[in-house]
Structure 1
């Protein structure tokens, strides 16, 4: 049985392990190294290493969207994932191989890691997009949990062999993308009202994502000084992040995506962790509490990132688009916001001229999180999204059930959702880029295989199956 034919609630160990390797490498790169500055005269630009990786990741996510279809498919072809992974692995060794190199090397390193990493993440978007969100979302959380675990293990075992193993993680990640079944699940068509509603929610999600990323960038710059550990308490952050993920996975496997269910709860918890962490920062600095606030903020941000990745997949499913596009746009907003946060924090640091980043950065970060949650993407929006997702998942199940029972071909299964939505042959032909006569031929075959005689009878069959499955 191929992965595409597995039950939608059966998780893929290949995707989980492969995504864990990708996440483990990113966590190592962003949080387990040093705060490498770039000296600009008398001013040291903090987290220059992170800033340039983020900058080139934003550029990299824009590449597939800017290319024509044929060129895009070539760039995102699975064999090329090995090339991107190898470049990332080699580039991560540059500081070790050239310890006395000019600081400007951080720019080249950022380009050689950022662009390939964005393309590898886009590849993961496609891999997750081939299955139902009821399968892919738990896989994202489970893979992130395993990635955090790898980070904690690597932090305690610092042998040269282990450091080499960390840098091989992108190659292992690419291997699992290559080894995964390409599947035959095309994006399901969405009706116009759902597309319009989903479009409005997407704008809110992206706006919120931008502000969440900015808050994280501010805190990542605040919590460290040039030449010191990038995240002094990253082990604690990973432990808290892991605890968050374990609870989230439990919710996802029990509650699903119904109104007010798992993803909404994990979103609230991640936001709470970020806000709680910002409040803890001054208390921890004064010695009033032992728990470092910046560690809690990082754990909350990583949890929020897992939720946002899931939302990117959910929106792709709802809108009936290739998940690479949703991943690309979503991560662009997240990392552009994070980059903006690093830049703003450095600007405030330069203006204050005290040698340390002021607490106003923490205040701004907390305010951004609160604004995003209250005014951009809050409870009401998540409730609306949950209802759409529930309906979408039910429609997905109906299409899968009919396709499997009637043994529809790949093209017939692609046309089926459009027919169930009542689209005309002309409209289906336009959206799929094929001729009307081809659509009519496939529709006749679908009618024959499902035992119906008209479009309306097919729609009635879909409704009947939907009631049985629910």
Structure 2
């Protein structure tokens, strides 16, 4: 990881550009955190001792989801510039302790507690695990965000894929051994988190929020509504499958985890072989998988185990995309990472809660509509969210940051080389204004931009939007995004505002050099 120091408009800005190497520690740490989550929330292993396994699982999952979303929302509202969750060792250790402690309470309840006391204990365990998992997940996302967009996508896909595959294998282990491994995971993950933080020397948290226009505010709102919508659809199908499947066995977990593993492998391959449009391709894959899961509903006459598993795979893919979008928003607008991750994921999980509770409250009424009607409604819901709320072009705009007005040189002076005062005295002429073309040429020479990156930079400085740059250069939005990302990395700019500040600084330097001659 390289550190680049920029001096922009009289201030020094230190920007970290991501290294291209993947970190096995980050992948392993995230995998341990996700392994705990998948086996605790989506397998029967912790609930083997319960007489009413189905009810206990869904009660625990619902309470945990509420606590998880609420904790993320509280963190998003409370975090300030200069603060990072992962740097707070007691907080991270407390999160790991709550995760393992909640699971211990689940196991103890299944073995020793019955009746109403068991319900209270399961709810308490759900609250503890929800709070703890929110803290550890947000801390890991802060660390992963320092690696840059491409590396973060690869590491999240590999980490989640390894966790899903490991969970699938552990389903066939003896229950006691599997539970022991699950209990260790949060502490091992927190340990690796602290190691990663020492290696990167903390999480960058300096600066203030970048100014945002009305267009950017609308972009944020659309994205959050879209995330809520996708979360609601996933929660609906998860609860719908459980509502129609009264026997919970190991087969449900096997298919769920296997489908998720395949989806994560596909995302990892996309991040390696489709680097220029990786985010767009990953988003399309998520939509296709969720769409396929919805269509499978028509063919599941007795249960929705398989369709629910496929929707789960698409939803896990979408989770990664939401995290990537939050990372881009944090970088583009100088927002604390914990805030953007907290807002984005809390919205997603609140949507999932809405979908789950819609089945709990109106399940019998919804079933009367018939599978065909439910499928049509779900497909229309999905398409509307994809086309109007959480669109591909919005993903790219998040990375570009605030759409600034074109940068133009100052007004040209009079044709005379010198100005004349009212008394006839002559004063030195102002420096010749420097145009964008000259500034771009200087940036190309300093930082070694490619020809296509130069074309994109020139259009950016003219205030062109993604769509206009696409039309002018005949390239896709994803390719534009890739070129912009490369420009940021080569110039050491954290976001568009940093790039514009650097451009103005170079313009001033050229003008001063010209005046000195």
Q: Which residue of 1 aligns with 2:489?
A: 397
Q: Which residue of 1 aligns with 2:102?
A: 91
Q: Secondary structure at the match of 2:88?
A: coil
Is the 2:69–2:346 contact (alpha carbons within 8 Å) kept by the matching residues of 1?
yes
Q: Secondary structure at the match of 1:16?
A: helix
Q: Taking structure 1 as reference, are residues 350 and 320 closer, same or farther at Cα in structure 2, changes over 3 Å only?
A: same
Map residues 10-25 of structure 1 onto 2, 5 A cutoff.
10-25=21-36
Distance 2:209 2:175 in 1: 55
Q: Secondary structure at the match of 2:118?
A: coil
**Alignment match of 2:227 (pick from 209, 214, 223):** 209
Is the 1:345–1:361 contact (alpha carbons within 8 Å) kept by the matching residues of 2?
no
| 1:177 lines up with 2:259 in the alignment | no
Distance 1:123 1:178 in 2: 10
Map residues 43-442 of structure 1 onto 2, 5 A cutoff.
47-67=58-78, 69=80, 77-99=88-110, 100=114, 101-180=117-196, 181-183=199-201, 186=204, 198-225=216-243, 228-229=247-248, 232-256=251-275, 258=276, 261-285=277-301, 292-349=306-363, 351=365, 364-382=377-395, 384=397, 386=478, 389-390=481-482, 392-400=484-492, 419-420=501-502, 422=504
The alpha carbon displacement at 1:200 in A equals 3.7
Q: Secondary structure at the match of 1:52?
A: helix
Q: Secondary structure at the match of 1:8?
A: coil
Q: TM-score, normalised by structure 2?
A: 0.68
Deviates more, 1:386-395 or 1:16-25: 386-395
Deviates more, 1:59-68 or 1:182-191: 182-191
Is the 1:270–1:301 contact (alpha carbons within 8 Å) kept by the matching residues of 2?
yes
The alpha carbon displacement at 1:340 in A equals 0.6
Structure 2 residue ranges without an equivalent (≥5) = 4-14, 48-54, 399-477, 513-517
Q: Taking structure 1 as reference, are residues 201 and 252 closer, same or farther at Cα in structure 2, changes over 3 Å only?
A: farther
The alpha carbon displacement at 1:362 in A equals 5.3
CA RMSD, 1 decimal = 4.0
Q: Secondary structure at the match of 1:224?
A: helix
Distance 2:20 2:511 in 1: 25
Which structure: larger Rg?
2
Task: Kindly provide the CA deviation profile for residues 440-462 of structure 1, in whole angstroms up to 9, marking residues without a partner as x.
Answer: xxxxxxxxxxxxxx7733999xx
Distance 2:79 2:27 in 1: 31
Q: Taking structure 1 as reference, are residues 195 and 247 closer, same or farther at Cα in structure 2, changes over 3 Å only?
A: farther
Task: Kindly provide the CA deviation profile for residues 371-409 of structure 1, in whole angstroms up to 9, marking residues without a partner as x.
Answer: 2112212344345554674355234313449x9xxxxxx
| 1:456 lines up with 2:470 in the alignment | no
The alpha carbon displacement at 1:9 in A equals 0.9
The alpha carbon displacement at 1:230 in A equals 8.2
Is the 1:201–1:381 contact (alpha carbons within 8 Å) kept by the matching residues of 2?
yes
The alpha carbon displacement at 1:75 in A equals 8.4
The alpha carbon displacement at 1:191 in A equals 11
The alpha carbon displacement at 1:271 in A equals 1.2
Distance 2:148 2:164 in 1: 24
Distance 1:197 1:294 in 2: 36
The alpha carbon displacement at 1:88 in A equals 0.8
Q: Taking structure 1 as reference, are residues 138 and 200 closer, same or farther at Cα in structure 2, changes over 3 Å only?
A: farther
The alpha carbon displacement at 1:182 in A equals 4.2
Is the 1:34–1:230 contact (alpha carbons within 8 Å) kept by the matching residues of 2?
no
Distance 1:46 1:162 in 2: 17
Q: Taking structure 1 as reference, are residues 45 and 28 closer, same or farther at Cα in structure 2, changes over 3 Å only?
A: closer
Distance 1:9 1:459 in 2: 36
Deviates more, 1:60-69 or 1:89-98: 60-69
The alpha carbon displacement at 1:219 in A equals 1.0
Q: Taking structure 1 as reference, are residues 75 and 147 closer, same or farther at Cα in structure 2, changes over 3 Å only?
A: closer
Is the 1:191–1:421 contact (alpha carbons within 8 Å) kept by the matching residues of 2?
no
Is the 1:85–1:174 contact (alpha carbons within 8 Å) kept by the matching residues of 2?
yes
The alpha carbon displacement at 1:82 in A equals 1.6
Is the 2:46–2:106 contact (alpha carbons within 8 Å) kept by the matching residues of 1?
no
Q: Secondary structure at the match of 2:163?
A: helix
Q: Taking structure 1 as reference, are residues 363 and 229 closer, same or farther at Cα in structure 2, changes over 3 Å only?
A: farther
Is the 1:318–1:389 contact (alpha carbons within 8 Å) kept by the matching residues of 2?
no
